[in-house]
Amino acid sequence: QEYIPEVRIGDKRILVLGGKIIGAVLREPKDNNFLANLGQGGIARKTDITERENEIVTRLSKFLIKNGLHFVGLDIIGDYITEINITCPTGIVHINQLNNTILEKEIVEYFRILADIA
């Protein structure tokens, strides 16, 4: 992966359910490191979604749903998508803790409705 200087600010994990953003966490590198991964010492921080990030998700949503990708984790550094995680969209625990929410309820309800439709 090419080095993206904005990684020094952090790497954002955005959880997308049914084409809509349900939460996000900023994974900030510790000290002067550029590794933002929480397993490598990164720190989870509360974050807001930027206009650009909303635009990215809006543009991807139809593709994701069309391909059966109802729940994904998008990793964004600066203006770049660095990963679309379809097998293990982590971040729920940190997003819940930082935002005093319970995303699992929304996720389960979405898939319950989806299963009833199918």
What radius of gyration do the chain's Cα atoms show? 14
Label residue 118 by pLDDT band (50, 70, 90).
low
Cα–Cα distance measured from residue 8 to residue 36, given in angstroms and rounded to the nearest whole number: 8
For 62-107, how does the pLDDT look when each residue is reduced to its tens digit (9 = 90+)? 999 999 999 999 999 998 999 999 998 999 999 999 999 999 999 9
Cα–Cα distance measured from residue 79 to residue 41, given in angstroms and rounded to the nearest whole number: 23
pTM higher than 0.75: yes
Domain count, the chain: 1
Q: What is the CATH number of the domain that holds 90?
A: 3.30.470.20
What is the residue type of 46?
Answer: K
Give residue 28's domain range.
Answer: 5-117
